[in-house]
Amino acid sequence: MAETSVAHHDVDEQDENQEMWDGGKSPFRASYGKLMMWYFLLSDAFTFAGFLIAYGSLRFSMPTWPEPDFVFRSFPFVHAHWPLIFVTFMTFVLIFSSVTMVRAVQEGHRENSRGVVFWMLLTILGGATFLGSQAYEWTVLIKEENVSITRNPFGRYLGDGYLVKMDEAGKPMFTESVDPATGRQTLTPQPLMENGEIVQVKEGGSYILHGHEHNGQVELQRPYIHYTTTEKAGKTEQLAEGPKAFGALFFFITGFHGFHVFSGVLFLTIIMINAGSGVYAARRNGYEMVEKIGLYWHFVDLVWVFVFLVFYLL
């Protein structure tokens, strides 16, 4: 008896499977619009993946790369350095707006227009907060730290050593000493002193080159450094800029993501107004438009998970 019922069940399922593809109804049990939104998101995922993989391979091709906890450490209204805290705040803003979006979709399924509008409004506020945060982050990088798509003031020391005192013309200062036995003259760079102590640097440590106005343009000051370890030991050289690709990749990829957030906010606003004015109630399809923009909005959050990973965590 049990066996026959199992067999019967199998036949039923097969029949159902057969009928699903017989035409007349969607075999994926999804509307055209929703399915196409999924495939658009898939193609968009490949676009973002292309950018992030380009970032990864360029980063792998450089001997050094700026450290995220050194680059991203400013917080509005706070003068101390708080590494990664502001981007964590931005991540939470996106998580919250994703959660409110799920609530809007659920209220849509219940045909509750007021609920949809309320939760979508919170989602839009989240998106706008994120965009504002990103504007702050960019402003700090561009205006205060002089990062641009071709200039990266963030670098890493290549060995242990100390900074060298400079004269007014910006040249390093040396002390001359003559070896009495051989008569050979040697030049030792004078260390830069701060609070009575030599300014020491450690291999792998991060630095930022500060900018100064010169003929109406900002130029980066490149102090001299005297290395005492690694193959650079004994050499005195100017600090170099970090890998140029950093700025271009950062602004392009976070900008592309920010543009997605911006268009998301626009579409969310339009759909919220439509939901409030009863356009979707008349369609009687459970506010499917809200569900579709919801998919897009979650995708924006999903991309941020990976942007957060590669730019800020690794």
Partner 1 sequence: MAEQHQTYEEQKTMVFNGLIRLGIITIIEVLIALLAKGHLIPGVEFKHGFGHYVYMILMAGFSLYKAYFIIYFFMHMAYEVRGMAMTVLMPTLLLVWAIIAFFQEGNYWRTSREHIQLKNEQGREENVLPVPAGKPQGYMLPGTFGHYNS
The nearer residue to partner 1, 122 or 166, going by C-beta atoms, is 122
The nearer residue to partner 1, 3 or 16, going by C-beta atoms, is 16
Q: Which of 293, 249, 313 is nearest to 127 (CA)?
A: 293
Backbone angles phi, psi at 38, to 5 degrees: -60, -45
Q: What is the largest CA-CA distance in the chain?
A: 110
The nearer residue to partner 1, 62 or 198, going by C-beta atoms, is 62
Binding region for partner 1 (CB under 8 A): 27-31, 35, 38-39, 41-42, 45-46, 49-50, 53-54, 56-63, 67, 69, 83-85, 88, 91-92, 95-96, 98-99, 101-103, 106, 109-110, 204, 285-286, 288, 291, 294-295, 298-299, 301-302, 305-306, 308-309, 312-314
The nearer residue to partner 1, 14 or 177, going by C-beta atoms, is 14
**CB of 176 vs partner 1, minimal distance in Å:** 26
Start-to-end CA span in the chain (Å): 60
> Burial letters for 177-187: b for 16+ Cβ neighbours within 10 Å, e otherwise?
eeeeeeeeeee
**CB of 56 vs partner 1, minimal distance in Å:** 6
**CB of 236 vs partner 1, minimal distance in Å:** 17
Measure the CA–CA gap between 165 and 199, rounded to whole angstroms: 10
Sheet with 236-238, edge to edge strand ranges: 200-201, 161-163, 224-227, 236-238
SS3 116: helix
DSSP 128: H
The nearer residue to partner 1, 42 or 178, going by C-beta atoms, is 42
**CB of 238 vs partner 1, minimal distance in Å:** 18
**CB of 53 vs partner 1, minimal distance in Å:** 5
The nearer residue to partner 1, 173 or 203, going by C-beta atoms, is 203
How many Cβ atoms sit within 10 Å of the Cβ of residue 92? 12
The nearer residue to partner 1, 26 or 177, going by C-beta atoms, is 26
**CB of 182 vs partner 1, minimal distance in Å:** 22
Q: Where are the beta strands (DSSP E) in the chain?
A: 154-156, 161-163, 174-178, 185-189, 193-194, 197-198, 200-201, 206-208, 211-214, 217-220, 224-227, 236-238
**CB of 105 vs partner 1, minimal distance in Å:** 8
DSSP 173: -
The nearer residue to partner 1, 55 or 224, going by C-beta atoms, is 55
**CB of 215 vs partner 1, minimal distance in Å:** 33
How far lies 246's CA from each of 62, 170, 304, in Å? Answer: 10, 27, 18
Q: What angle do CA 233, 236, 239 make, to 5 degrees?
A: 105
Measure the CA–CA gap between 227 and 234, rounded to whole angstroms: 6
